Structure formats: structure tokens, C-alpha cells
Amino acid sequence: MTELLRVENINKSYVSGSAWGGIKTQVLKNINFAFNKGESYGLLGPSGCGKSTLARLILALEKPDSGKIFIEGQDIFSLNSKELKQLRKKVQPVFQDPYASLNPRMTIEEVLSEPFIIHEEKPVNTVLKKLLSQVGLAETSLEKYPHEFSGGQRQRIAIARALTLNPKLIVADEPLSSLDVSVQAQILNLFADIKEEYGLSLVFISHDFALSKFLCTRVVVMDKGTIAEEGPAENVILHPQSTAAQTLLKAVLPLGIQGGGNV
């Protein structure tokens, strides 16, 4: 079993205010976890606990103050730009806001071709169309612009984009939170489908336990920048030990859990 993702001693802080002096906030403190290929990780926690920051670090969109992240054994922050660009093929994002995750000025064809162009490959039309059908969209979508699609459809396009380079890991930051309840189930199922089809792993960030339980093998509960609890999904969700996890469970109405679990 090869290790897919390892997060080691990650610390991250932000300085708010102008360049002339501001307040330093510690967003992530000593984060450690790892999982293997084929597993999927749920990142749970209330807003402000640092989940999105962690996601950005895993995607190498930002650098930590200290600590390392390994993807398939590679220390992503010690790579040079060429190596980093290659590495990016392995880990791709799906973001929360479907209205902001697509460039309004680009057609869907351009959106899906871009990954290929960036990596100096020629985008093949049939491949693009296949991607679209994988996520449940019609071929005609290629000529259209993002504003012609609904939120759920845009999220599908975002997922298609994430799949273009055949990643090993998809980091999804609350991908369902901005969608209508009726659409959430569809997209959730889509995630499950592609997970199977492509054999990829997910880091699935959300504040909803049921979603995590459905998709993920292991779960991490975060609270104010630290890990409050970690373990197999079933255990953490049905028998939360830490106060953070318990509070979270009480506060959120689960989707699909029958009869209300005894907490």
C-alpha cells in the first residue's frame, strides 16, 4: 500500500492589515496526518478552523511557515518550478463556489483545454467530450459560457476540469455547500462515481458528517487550527470522543442519517 498523502508538522499563520504592521493569526498548528492510495479523507470542522488553508497548502497554492507535505513520497515544497508543475498533475481542486470557480470569459471548451495547453499537450476534442459525458453533461456544452449553466452544472464542469490530467488526488473544498439541497445528492453521487472509475483519492472538506461518512474512509475533525480527533470515519462520526467533534455533530443536521444517532 503506497502512501499517497502525508502532512507533517504543518504550521501556518497570516498577518492581517497593511504591510506596515498588522496582527498575526495562527491558522494551523502542528497538523499531522497521512493516508494511503485508495483511501479518502474527510476534513471536518466549523468555519474558521483552518480547513481551507490546509486545502490550499496541499494544493501547493501557498507555503507553510514550517512543516512538510508529501504527495506520493515527494516533498512538494522542496521541488523546483519544473518539478512542481509536473506534480500538479497529481493533485487537483474542486472549490466551493461554482459561480467563482470558472473564468466567466472562457468557453467550456477553453476551460477544459487549458490543462492540456499548460502542459504542452494538444487538447483532443473527443477526450473533452468524454470528460463531459463522464460528469453528466452534453457535448454541446463545449461552446457555451459558464453563465449559461446552473450551479450544479458548473460544479460538474469544475470536476471535469479536475479530471483532465488524470490526478491521483482531488482536494474538494466544501463542493456541495453552495448548491441546492436537491442538487447536492447528485453531485455527491458524482464524486462517488469518479472515485470508483478513476481509482482516485479524495480529501473532502465539509462541515457535514453524513457526507464525509458516505465518501470517506478516514476522517479528521479540526478545531481552531489543530486536529481534535482523527480516525476511521465510522468511529469518529458515530462515537465522537472529543468535545469539538461532539459539538459539531450536535450543531449540524445530518443528511440521510436515520433516527438521529445517539450522541
Partner 1 sequence: MTLKKILLDALKNKTALAGFVLVVFFALVALFAPVLAPSSGRDSYQMPQGGYSIQPQAPSGEHYFGTTENQYDLYYGIVWGARMAFKVGITVVFFALLIGLIVGGIAGFAGGWTDEILMRLTDIIFAVPSMVLAMVIAAMLGRDLGNMMIALTIVSWPSYARLVRGGVLSIKEREFVLAAKALGASPSRIFIKHIIPNAIYPVIIMASLDIGYIVLTAASLSFLGLGSPVGTADWGQLVALSRNWILGGNGNPFAYWYTIVIPGSALLLFVLGWNLLGDAFRDILDTKAKKA
Binding site for partner 1 (CB under 8 A): 19, 56, 59-61, 84-85, 88-89, 91-93, 95-97, 100-106, 114-115, 118-119, 147, 158, 161, 165
Residue 117 or 263: the one with the smaller Cβ distance to partner 1 is 117
For the CB of residue 174, give the shortest distance to partner 1 in the complex, in Å: 11
Transcribe the chain into DSSP letters. --EEEEEEEEEEEEEES-TT--EEEEEEEEEEEEEETT--EEEE--TTSSHHHHHHHHTTSS--SEEEEEETTEEGGG--HHHHHHHGGGEEEE-S-TTTSS-TTS-HHHHHHHHHHHTT-PPPHHHHHHHHHHTT--GGGGGS-GGGS-HHHHHHHHHHHHHTT--SEEEEESTTTTS-HHHHHHHHHHHHHHHHHHT-EEEEEES-HHHHHHH-SEEEEEETTEEEEEEEHHHHHHS--SHHHHHHHHHS--SS-TT----
For the CB of residue 177, give the shortest distance to partner 1 in the complex, in Å: 13
For the CB of residue 230, give the shortest distance to partner 1 in the complex, in Å: 25
Residue 4 or 219: the one with the smaller Cβ distance to partner 1 is 4
Residue 201 or 223: the one with the smaller Cβ distance to partner 1 is 201
User: How far is the C-alpha of 173 from the C-alpha of 92, rounded, in Å?
Assistant: 11
For the CB of residue 50, give the shortest distance to partner 1 in the complex, in Å: 17
Residue 165 or 255: the one with the smaller Cβ distance to partner 1 is 165
For the CB of residue 258, give the shortest distance to partner 1 in the complex, in Å: 35
Residue 165 or 192: the one with the smaller Cβ distance to partner 1 is 165
For the CB of residue 94, give the shortest distance to partner 1 in the complex, in Å: 9
Residue 75 or 148: the one with the smaller Cβ distance to partner 1 is 148
Q: Cα(first)–Cα(last) distance of the chain, in Å?
A: 34
For the CB of residue 27, give the shortest distance to partner 1 in the complex, in Å: 16
Contact between 219 and 206 under an 8 Å Cβ cutoff? The reply is no
Residue 64 or 240: the one with the smaller Cβ distance to partner 1 is 64
* The pairing of beta strand 201-206 with beta strand 169-173: parallel
